[in-house]
């Protein structure tokens, strides 16, 4: 089949890479894209947000399946547009994508489905929001209802900070229209993990748990980013836990959305807070995470295109959704200054040491240790034939090995071969998993 990937970052590079290895794929296209994607897919010069333009391209080029990476085109109704024209697409409709684009909608689905989540109230009236804050004790979380580029959530340690956050969202309109409605919820503690499943409207096939690392600095300090690294699976959670997430979170959500006549098709990404026996959903996203997708695609071992087509056609049971029983780790290389101001256009070197054909002692050792390395590019571009930085998160160096310890060592060994001015990375990706393994061995 001919497949079109919508998006242009690291997540889409990973999707293109895995799709390019699907036996059923004979043509691969991607909207715009970085030089890494361009090696795998024919570039289509249409912006991912240009819903009608993407649909025109898919129709004119007889694309059999379109796969959407980012949330914006989904919230803008790209799936509705494709379905109206009888074109196959993997992702949720605009109404179902509200699971991510409206926190109030997500909360109502969770309430109706009996999915555990933080106590909350939703407000469009600032006076009512203030009265609610005044009546609370202890920390709380103020969230802009709509899409705010990951910046709409403020964890508030007391009433004063919460009142300030309410004012910023509803009065100063810091998040624009996205903050006119807000959700105020109970502050939860525990360990954050992400769960992914492929859904076909009625059923779901698990892809399992991944842990992201959201802050810029080690030990979860500093401002939030899009994600600085991820690993999968998590050695400190067992198969029984994943079954529980399917039973208590994914299946009731799918059943409820079906009953609400907004069936959910696409990737369901549940951000969870786990504390002892308690699992709470912090948020839903309607797409793969970035860089979680890079770790998952490294392990994905079936025909991805067939699986996504089956999900889009409401017959996920026909697909083999399987991940290799190995560990994958993605370490993000960022440009100095990210997530604030950073420079672009800095030359990148060292990629050929990983991806070049020449043999080297390091590559031989990786092969002997069964370490597989893949660099997924995100904010990169070409200038006069040389690769340069073109974004805050530049690439995700991803390694897979039989165990987590070996995969982490491989990922950092490879990450250290790549150089550009101001290169920054976290040094503690997967540490929670490594600490858990260490404790187990003692
Ligand atoms: P969200 O976009 O809703 O996932 O929120 C972004 C981040 O804010 C999450 O990854 C958590 O670290 C934090 N957060 C969100 N909701 C809560 C909550 N109820 N309690 C504690 N932390 C939260
Ligand atoms: N890595 C977090 C996200 O994609 O939302």
Q: How far is the CA of 190 from the centre of ligand 1 (A)?
A: 11
CB 338 within 8 A of CB 223: no
Q: What is the pLDDT of residues 414-430, one digit of tens each?
A: 999 999 999 999 999 99
Nearest CA to ligand 2 atom 4: 289
Residue 148 has pLDDT above 90, yes or no: no
Q: What is the pLDDT of residues 275-326, one digit of tens each?
A: 999 999 999 999 999 999 999 999 999 999 999 999 999 999 999 999 999 9
Residue (of 440, 269, 331) closest to 10 by Cα position: 331
* pTM of the predicted model as reported, rounded to 2 decimal places: 0.96
Q: What is the CATH number of the domain that holds 25?
A: 3.40.50.20
Tell me if 109 is assigned to some domain: no
Tell me if 111 is assigned to some domain: no
Residue where the block lists tokens 């060292």:
350
CA triplet 16, 69, 370: central angle to 5 degrees? 45
Q: For ligand 1, is residue 241 a contact (CB within 6 Å)?
A: no
Q: How far is the CA of 292 from the centre of ligand 2 (A)?
A: 7
Residue 22 has pLDDT above 80, yes or no: yes
pLDDT at position 399 is 98
Q: Which ligand is nearest to the CA of 293?
A: 2
Q: What is the CATH number of the domain that holds 229?
A: 3.30.470.20
CB 327 within 8 A of CB 231: yes
CB 289 within 8 A of CB 225: no
pLDDT at position 149 is 78
Residue 150 has pLDDT above 90, yes or no: no
Query: Which of 274, 294, 323 lies at the terminal end of a domain, its last residue?
Result: 323
- Closest atom of ligand 1 to 189 CA is 21
Q: What are phi and psi of 342, to 5 degrees?
A: -150, 165
CA atoms within 13 Å, Cβ hemisphere of 9? 22
Q: How far is residue 433's CA from residue 441's CA, in Å, rounded to a whole number?
A: 13
Are residues 366 and 353 part of one domain? yes
Domain extent at residue 44: 2-90
Q: For ligand 1, is residue 187 a contact (CB within 6 Å)?
A: yes
pLDDT at position 313 is 97
Query: Which of 154, 186, 218 lies at the terminal end of a domain, its last residue?
Result: 186
Contacts of 200 (CB under 8 A, 6+ apart): 265, 310, 311, 312, 313, 314, 315, 316
pLDDT at position 288 is 98
Mean pLDDT value across the chain: 95
pLDDT at position 24 is 96
Are residues 287 and 229 part of one domain? yes
Residue 375 has pLDDT above 80, yes or no: yes
Q: How far is residue 178's CA from residue 145's CA, in Å, rounded to a whole number?
A: 6
Tell me if 411 is assigned to some domain: yes
Query: Which of 292, 323, 354 lies at the terminal end of a domain, its last residue?
Result: 323
CB 63 within 8 A of CB 81: no
- Closest atom of ligand 2 to 227 CA is 1
Domain count, the chain: 4
pLDDT at position 152 is 86
**What's the distance, Cα to Cα, between the start and end of the chain in Å?**
50
Are residues 162 and 268 part of one domain? no
Q: What is the pLDDT of residues 211-248, one digit of tens each?
A: 999 999 999 999 889 999 999 999 999 999 999 999 99
Tell me if 96 is assigned to some domain: no
Tell me if 112 is assigned to some domain: no
Q: For ligand 1, is residue 283 a contact (CB within 6 Å)?
A: yes
Are residues 236 and 210 part of one domain? yes
Q: What is the pLDDT of residues 171-185, one digit of tens each?
A: 888 998 888 999 999
Q: What is the pLDDT of residues 76-126, one digit of tens each?
A: 999 999 999 999 999 999 999 999 999 999 999 999 999 999 999 899 999
Q: What is the CATH number of the domain that holds 172?
A: 3.30.1490.20
């Amino acid at each position: 089949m001919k497949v079109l990937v919508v998006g242009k970052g690291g997540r889409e590079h990973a999707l293109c890479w895995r799709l390019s290895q699907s036996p059923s794929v004979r043509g691969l296209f991607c909207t715009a894209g970085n030089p890494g994607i361009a090696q795998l897919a024919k570039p289509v010069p249409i912006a991912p947000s240009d819903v009608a333009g993407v649909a025109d391209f898919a129709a004119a080029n007889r694309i059999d399946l379109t796969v959407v990476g980012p949330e914006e085109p989904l919230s803008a109704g790209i799936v509705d547009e494709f379905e109206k024209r009888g074109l196959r697409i993997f992702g949720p409709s605009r109404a179902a994508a509200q699971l991510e684009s409206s926190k109030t909608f997500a909360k109502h689905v969770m309430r109706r489905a009996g999915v555990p989540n933080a106590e909350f109230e939703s407000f469009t009236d600032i006076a009512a929001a203030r009265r609610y804050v005044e009546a609370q004790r202890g920390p709380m979380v103020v969230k802009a209802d709509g899409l705010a580029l990951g910046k709409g959530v403020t964890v508030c340690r007391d009433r004063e900070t919460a009142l300030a956050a309410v004012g910023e969202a509803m009065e100063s309109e810091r998040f624009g229209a996205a903050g006119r409605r807000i959700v105020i919820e109970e502050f939860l503690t525990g360990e954050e993990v992400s769960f992914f499943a492929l859904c076909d409207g009625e059923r779901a096939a698990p892809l399992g748990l991944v842990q992201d690392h959201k802050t810029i600095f080690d030990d979860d300090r500093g401002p939030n980013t899009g994600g600085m690294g991820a690993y999968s699976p998590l050695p400190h959670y067992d198969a029984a836990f994943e079954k529980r997430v399917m039973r208590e979170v994914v299946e009731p959500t799918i059943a409820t959305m079906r009953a609400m006549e907004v069936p959910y098709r696409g990737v369901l990404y549940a951000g969870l807070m786990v504390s002892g026996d308690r699992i709470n959903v912090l948020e839903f996203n309607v797409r793969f995470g970035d860089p979680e997708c890079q770790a998952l695609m490294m392990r994905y071992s079936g025909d991805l295109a067939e699986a996504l087509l089956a999900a889009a056609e409401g017959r996920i049971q026909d697909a083999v959704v399987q991940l290799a029983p190995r560990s994958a780790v993605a370490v993000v290389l960022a440009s100095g200054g990210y997530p604030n101001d950073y420079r672009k256009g800095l030359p990148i070197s060292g990629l050929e040491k990983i991806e070049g054909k020449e043999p080297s002692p390091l590559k031989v050792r990786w092969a002997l240790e069964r370490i597989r390395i893949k660099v997924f590019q995100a904010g990169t571009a070409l200038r006069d034939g040389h690769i340069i930085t073109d974004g805050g998160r530049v690439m995700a160096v991803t390694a897979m090995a039989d165990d987590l310890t070996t995969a982490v060592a491989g990922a950092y060994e490879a990450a250290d071969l790549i150089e550009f001015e101001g290169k920054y990375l976290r040094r503690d990706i997967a540490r929670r998993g490594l600490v858990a393994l260490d404790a187990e061995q003692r």
